[in-house]
Chains A and B, each alone.
Chain A
């Protein structure tokens, strides 16, 4: 690079920086919109990720006061942080259905009157080895009414909690019945049984997040949304970037530059640098807001991990990939409308595919495989290596190299096209 071209390059950067700085509406869009998106989505989806209790389901238990089945179900539901329990002793079927339709409750458990006594009698018959066809007491039927809008996986969780509570009651009643039998058969030698339903024989330990480095924080919505929207904001800059190129071509200034001794890299690079700086400022502002402002609004704070260099490398390579894509689009688009619509549509497709709009973890396996085609997916993986899995520079290297290769190919195509060789 000779001095003359360096001077031209600096002038080119300054020119585009001035043009961008004078477009205040665009600046607001560049910086405010992504930050707002991250705030809104991180708060809205706060409880869909991580261990926060937030996603609470209003559950109604109808059981007479003092009923042991009702007490057990109440205790089990209350132990779950995601359940907001209301217990009442009596309500008509019609009333309960009305509350579900109104959305006051998602899940209602109707325990019939005398459920505990009936269950006790039934266990007595079972212990006395009364044949099933001669038993007087039927199984106690606990009805459940559910809001059809409740996701099936959440419904299964609530049904599982209920089944566990009922199982505990069964264990307790069985033990009591056994004690009564022992008391009769052993007389004064009778020794009470231990409370076996409260004594777990097997228990799962809390799930341990498996990370590449040290134990990392549990993924939260902000750890999905902050990098996802940073990447989307970066790639969305391809729209103004490509449009500014087409405008320059329409205004004739690009034509004028082509008649001069200005190398292609000066023209293209001069435009790339201001957008690269904007991308990095976008990333910094989104991360700062996620770390400092989001907790203040009730969201989870973003934990940045311990690898600032890996973070910076990931952001820089994602930005270069986005800029390369924007410049390549500009070289082929004929009108600003064509450039804007093509680049925005393509970025949205890459974002949807790459786990930006919908986390890859909820995608079916085929879509997860297809996600690997999107550069935004590479960027997201690299960010989450740092944020969630405690990774460092070495861990993000494959994704960073992918992004840089994508950028190189795009820039190469753009330069050849600019020189009229493609």
Chain B
């Protein structure tokens, strides 16, 4: 399979010790009178990891990806890919981009799409043919290769979208919501392929709305909120850090106005986040705080459908830092 034989293109232009992506204090303003889309944002993606960028709609994820791909220039700050500040042809060749919506030509076949983008990436002759076959195999769409893409299912289009980004065997792969609105089989296949790419040494940066996906796939994540990185780190470390002090409560009905205010007044409770019927809180002593929370909820006439404490998840961490629902 093509994934296993990826050449170390990036290693040739960057030392192994350099981060794959390094973002330093970037700000992006589209209008002077509007809040910045990115506000003094910094993050580091080491080589060879799967790095997830999480954030609610409008957090600035797409703007960040556009800057990383060279489509937008930051108002301030620097971006380095493989140690290079500008997207030189060598860096561009090391970069694979998978847009959120399938960026394919619907009236061309899957094979023709791969051939076209392969040629655009500079591949030719037997090498191009070899890569096309490898990509068809990776995406498991060989049986549909000669059908027009307009006749593909949504999952097949996304698989094709993914492998077009892989046709030139990039060393850094940037994916924007790669598994949105697809069937479980295609999602599972894409996860599997991303893991294989990681095993082959490819650095993967992806945005996602699916917290379970980030938790299963990513080694590191950054949670963005209002153009900033609210929290960044290795997934297991984040989970460990939030394990003992988090409380999650599902309410049986919509909370009344003023509830959050009342809960924040509880002395044993730290941060409080209320999104719909989902209440997330942190506390140095979760059991004690949970009892206080339940008491207050009862006083407001609210019942509890479920209660968890001491078991952190990215979902809970996300809610803690953004105070917003993860669903698009």
Contact = CB atoms under 8 A, between A and B. Distances in A.
Instruction: Report whether chain A binds chain B.
Output: yes
A260 B71 contact: no
Contacts of B107: 18-19, 22-23
B70 to A, nearest CB: 7
Given A18-B112, A260-B121, A255 B99 contact: yes
Contact of A11 (B70, B95, B101, B120): B120
Given A15-B112, A252-B103, A255-B99, A262 B71 contact: no
A15 B116 contact: yes
Contacts of B69: 258-259
A142 B97 CA distance: 89
Interface in A233-274: 248, 251-253, 255-262, 266
Nearest to B164: A256
Given A15-B112, A15-B116, A261-B92, A252 B99 contact: yes
Nearest to A253: B103
A255 B92 contact: no
A14 B95 CA distance: 25
A4 to B, nearest CB: 5
B106 interface: yes
A251 B104 contact: yes
Interface string A163-199: 0000000000000000000000000000000000000
B117 interface: yes
A15 B105 contact: yes
A7 interface: yes
A155 interface: no
Of the candidates B69, B71, B102, B119, the one having the most CB atoms from chain A within 10 angstroms of its own CB is B119
Contacts of A22: 107, 148
Interface string B117-160: 10111101000000000000000000000001000000000000
Nearest to B88: A261
Contact of A252 (B89, B101, B119, B120): B101
A8 interface: yes
Contacts of A252: 99-103
B106 to A, nearest CB: 7
B93 interface: yes
B119 A251 contact: no
A18 B116 CA distance: 11
Give the interface SS of chain A, mostly helix, strand, loop or mixed. helix
Contacts of B124: 7
Contact of B105 (A251, A262, A266): A251
B115 A255 contact: no
B106 A251 contact: yes
Interface residues of A, number: 24
B108 interface: yes
A256 B99 CA distance: 7
A266 to B, nearest CB: 8
A251 B92 contact: no
Given A8-B120, A252-B102, A260-B120, A18 B108 contact: yes
Contacts of A19: 105, 107-108
Contacts of B101: 251-252
Of the candidates B69, B70, B103, B106, the one having the most CB atoms from chain A within 10 angstroms of its own CB is B103
Contacts of B116: 11-12, 14-15
Given A256-B99, A260-B120, A15 B108 contact: yes
Contact of B122 (A8, A14, A23, A248): A8
A12 B104 CA distance: 14
Given A15-B116, A19-B108, A255 B122 contact: no
A7 to B, nearest CB: 6
Of the candidates A19, A251, A253, the one having the most CB atoms from chain B within 10 angstroms of its own CB is A253
A259 B92 contact: yes
Nearest to A20: B107
Nearest to A15: B116
Contacts of B104: 251, 253
A14 B109 CA distance: 13
Contact of B71 (A259, A261, A266): A259
Contacts of A8: 119-120, 122
A9 B164 CA distance: 19
A253 B95 contact: no
Interface string A1-44: 00010011001101100110011000000000000000000000
Nearest to A19: B107
A261 B94 CA distance: 11
29 contacts: A7-B124, A8-B119, A8-B120, A11-B119, A12-B120, A14-B116, A15-B105, A15-B116, A18-B107, A18-B108, A18-B112, A19-B105, A19-B107, A19-B108, A22-B148, A251-B101, A251-B102, A251-B104, A251-B106, A252-B99, A252-B101, A255-B97, A256-B99, A256-B165, A259-B92, A259-B97, A260-B92, A261-B122, A266-B120
Interface of A: 4, 7-8, 11-12, 14-15, 18-19, 22-23, 248, 251-253, 255-262, 266
Given A7-B124, A259-B97, 8 more contacts: A8-B122, A11-B115, A11-B116, A19-B108, A251-B104, A257-B120, A261-B89, A261-B122
